[in-house]
Amino acid sequence: MKEVINYILDLGPAVFLPLIMIIVGLIVRMKFSTAFSSALTLGVAFLGMSVVIDFMFDAIGPASEAFVNNTGLQLNILDLGWPPNAAIAWAWPYAFFMFPIQIVINLLMLGFNKTNCLNLDLWNVWNKIFTAVIVSGITNSLAMGFIVASIEVVLELKNADLTQKQIQRMTGIPGIALPHSMALTAVVLAPINRLLDFIPGLKNVEIDAESLKEKLGIFGENHVMGFIIGIFIALFAKYDLKSTLTLAVQAATALTLFPMVATLFMKALAPISDAAGEFMKKRFPGKEIYIGLDWPFLAGQPEVWVTCILLVPVILLMAVILPGNGVLPFGGILNICFAATALIVCNKNLVRMLILGVIATPLYLYVGTAFAPHITNLARQVGTIDIPANQMITWNGMEAPEFRYVFSRAANIINGDYFGLVLLAGYIALYIWYFKHMKAREAEAAKDLGLS
């Protein structure tokens, strides 16, 4: 049996992922032809991502090496943003187990009235897979990976409850909630935001974010941002004009193609998440619940984009000056996970969002640095992704960096890492404060909405 499994895993994710997918597809009663097409799309998605990553390393690898040589800065960890990391997470052999885990926890919590959120965002199951991948990489324990990922499922559902009315007040959409784990970062952002209350004058600063977004919007487009970062890297690498422009267009290409290829993952997995969603909805008719969705229903708020764009120079500067940082920001330079969370925490106050952004940027960079060896290892293990020997990869701006760091250290107690327990105690204390704070804010939002 073990030999069979090893043989299958040795085929590489582009082959074994479709095999697993066909089996899962047939279990959720897909027609064979649909299951086959979806499965093959998953293989294509994975190989497609490998192709783009290879292209990117061919272009940016030498430039970032020259960057390191010329500046003496040890920024040898390339930030790939989320799409390649999603590809790596899906390629983990145990990835699909996360679907039933998330669904069962959600249904149990609904059944026992521990949450009001039915999370239909099954795309972001991959966030929990990614957590499990990192934690089991650090602890060498598969069980620990799944335990921490399960805690993440619980906390993100709780967090959906703790933000639902505030989000409704902001967006005007009733009946939905945000169980995305990005918003767990509110646990550390909310206390800082509370401290900002004591700075006089901050409450009444009004900025027209919409008109700012009109002016800055172009910088948010993937190819334009890629072009700019390409020029930034080339400048430090001391490239001549021709090489600089070439690198800039290559970087623009990589950042444009990443999400395009990631769409293939979505297309492949859609039938499964549809089937799972129907399964969950059928089990809860008539009960007062909120539907948990992915974050883009917040994407119409201009503050999100203005924050992302204005933080770009901050992230680049900090990457260069922060001692111990190894991340060269690239694919994750627009920190959506921060901006969308800060939008809720600061209730759309742009000045506060920017202040929190400056404070939080080191958190994202340092956790990106700390996890790089594990992400790189996994990418090498799953094969087909070639990362040059002296390079590592990571994701600056990942969701819930504080949660992942604290809980991976705490889980590492099994290897005698006691410092993790100190971190965990601190996290729990913060969380208790956060829970009460958000309850009060929810009550206030409910009053504004005329619900209480």
Partner 1 sequence: MKTIIVACGSGVATSQTVASKVDKLCKERKIPAKVMAVDIKSLEQNIRIADVYISIAPSYKDYGIPTISGIPFLTGVGMEETMDQLEEILKK
Q: Which is nearer to partner 1, 334 or 410 (CB)?
A: 334
Q: Which is nearer to partner 1, 172 or 200 (CB)?
A: 172
Q: Which is nearer to partner 1, 137 or 302 (CB)?
A: 302
> Least distance from C-beta 37 to partner 1, angstroms?
13
Q: Which is nearer to partner 1, 65 or 294 (CB)?
A: 294
Q: Which residues of 377-411 are buried (b: 16+ CB within 10 A; e: fewer)?
A: ebbbebebbebeeebbbbbbbbbbbbbbbbbbbbb
- Provide the sign of the torsion angle of the four alpha carbons 327, 330, 335, 337, taken in this order: negative
Q: Which is nearer to partner 1, 270 or 275 (CB)?
A: 270
Q: Which is nearer to partner 1, 173 or 429 (CB)?
A: 173
Widest CA span of the chain, in angstroms? 68
* Three-state SS annotation for 197-230: CCCCCHHHCCCCHHHHHHHHHHHHCHHHHHHHHH
Among residues 47, 138, 45, 153, which one has the least CA distance to residue 97?
Answer: 153
Among residues 221, 131, 133, 144, which one has the least CA distance to residue 180?
Answer: 131
Residue 418 CA, distance from chain mean position: 27
Counted residue by residue, the chain has a size of 452
Q: Which is nearer to partner 1, 267 or 437 (CB)?
A: 267
Q: Which is nearer to partner 1, 259 or 388 (CB)?
A: 259
Cα 82 from Cα 262, distance rounded (Å): 9
Q: Which is nearer to partner 1, 123 or 366 (CB)?
A: 123
> Least distance from C-beta 172 to partner 1, angstroms?
6
> Least distance from C-beta 266 to partner 1, angstroms?
4
**Sheet architecture: strand order including 290-292:** 117-119, 290-292, 176-177
Contacts of 106 (CB under 8 A, 6+ apart): 115, 117, 118, 119, 153, 157, 280
Q: Which is nearer to partner 1, 172 or 201 (CB)?
A: 172
> Least distance from C-beta 178 to partner 1, angstroms?
12
Cα 183 from Cα 344, distance rounded (Å): 8
A 10 A CB-CB count for 56 gives 24
- Pairing relationship of beta strands 77-79 and 392-394 according to DSSP bridges: parallel
Cα 151 from Cα 187, distance rounded (Å): 15
Q: Which is nearer to partner 1, 171 or 246 (CB)?
A: 171
- Whether 395 contacts 331, CB under 8 Å: yes
Cα 79 from Cα 68, distance rounded (Å): 15
> Least distance from C-beta 442 to partner 1, angstroms?
20
Residue with tokens 């009109």: 214
> Least distance from C-beta 358 to partner 1, angstroms?
23
Residue 258 CA, distance from chain mean position: 15
Among residues 285, 329, 334, 330, which one has the least CA distance to residue 311?
Answer: 334
Interface ranges with partner 1 (CB under 8 A) = 83, 120, 123-124, 171-173, 175-176, 210, 217, 220-222, 259, 262-263, 265-267, 270, 273, 281, 291, 293-302, 305, 336
> Least distance from C-beta 437 to partner 1, angstroms?
26
> Least distance from C-beta 436 to partner 1, angstroms?
30
Cα 444 from Cα 384, distance rounded (Å): 52
A 10 A CB-CB count for 317 gives 12
